[in-house]
Amino acid sequence: MPTSDVISEDLLSRFNSDGFLVIENVLSTEEIERAKARFEPLFRGEFDLGIQPDEWNWREGRDAIDLTRQICNAWKADAVIRSIVLREDLAKMCADLKDWPGARINQDNVLWKPPGARALGFHQDDSFQQWISPAQMMTCWMTLDDTRAEQGTIEYVKGSHLWPVSPPITQFHAPDDPLKELRQAAQSINKHIEIVPIVVPAGSVVLHDGRVWHGSRANSGEAPRRSIVAHCMSSAAQFSGTDQSPIYNRYKKHGTNDMDESFFPILYRQDGYRTAWIDQA
């Protein structure tokens, strides 16, 4: 399969074995600082592109302070977030690792876990992707802060991308037991759980397969953990035509399963194609 300059054969082998791959020094200091400066305005509802994101799971003044703060598809609402999650080089790495002809954006996440914020349940991304075909995702998780194990960093179950896809977990935000469904899945196929916390400097990215189990526990440290996540799917992905997403099927056109590039732009394709408006916006 083709690999980019970043994805060497050694890194590809590591990804195929572990289900995730850490690459440091991807975001510049300028990108990091610009992105961090947008977090407080975003969660106050200040969207500089004039459009609300598709999901806004924590709002200042409305939600409990011990919840992890999340916005989905901030790229539609904020120019700084758009400039990061729609990067062609990140999409190329996702496509190369999955052996796709290219990659388009599925959705993004803006995640802010302040001190004291509770866990996010361990899950597989592909569990939530039955509304697309192929029902596969590749994720690029980007940290804006140096991470520590005690600060609720993302954690992966090594090799779990080789397990079957489980049903969606019952409680994603602030579950009492964030590992509940993970343990059930491992027990059902007699697998050992090896959890790897990601401790990396700001500007690092982790690329992970949509089947790998991952999550984050409570932030018991004294510093926030902020990250931006680009979830990609194949450039050839379509709506499944059977299962529906209660949020994202609002962008399905009648009579076709094709995806409109206005809402799911193609970030990279092997033949050189990239949705034109991205770099013109």
CATH of 9-279, one of 3.30.230.70, 3.40.50.720, 2.60.120.620, 3.30.930.10: 2.60.120.620
Mean pLDDT of 212-239: 97
Over 70: is that where the pLDDT of 2 sits? Answer: no
Residue type, position 250, single letter: R
User: What is the average pLDDT value for the chain, to the nearest integer?
Assistant: 96
- CA contacts within 13 A on the Cβ side of 201: 8
Give the C-alpha separation, 76 to 57, whole Å: 16
Buried b (16+ CB within 10 A) or exposed e, 193-229: bebbbbebebbbbbbbbbbbbbbbbbbebeebbbbbb
Q: Name the token pair of 93.
A: 């790495």
- Domain edges within the chain: 9-279
CA distances from 111 to 20, 31, 71, 270 (A): 19, 16, 7, 30
How many percent of the chain have pLDDT more than 70?
A: 98
Residues 6+ apart with CB under 8 A from 115: 151, 219, 220, 221, 222, 223, 224
Tens digits of per-residue pLDDT, 128-156? 999 999 999 999 999 999 999 999 999 99
Tens digits of per-residue pLDDT, 268-277? 999 999 999 9
Tens digits of per-residue pLDDT, 35-61? 999 999 999 999 999 999 999 999 989
Tens digits of per-residue pLDDT, 4-47? 557 889 999 999 999 999 999 999 999 999 999 999 999 999 99
Give the C-alpha separation, 78 to 59, whole Å: 16
The CB-based long-range contact list for 32-39 (8 Å cut-off, 24+ gap) reads 32/144, 32/202, 32/203, 34/80, 35/80, 35/81, 35/84, 35/144, 35/226, 35/228, 36/144, 36/226, 37/80, 38/78, 38/80, 38/81, 39/110, 39/112, 39/226
How many percent of the chain have pLDDT more than 90?
A: 95
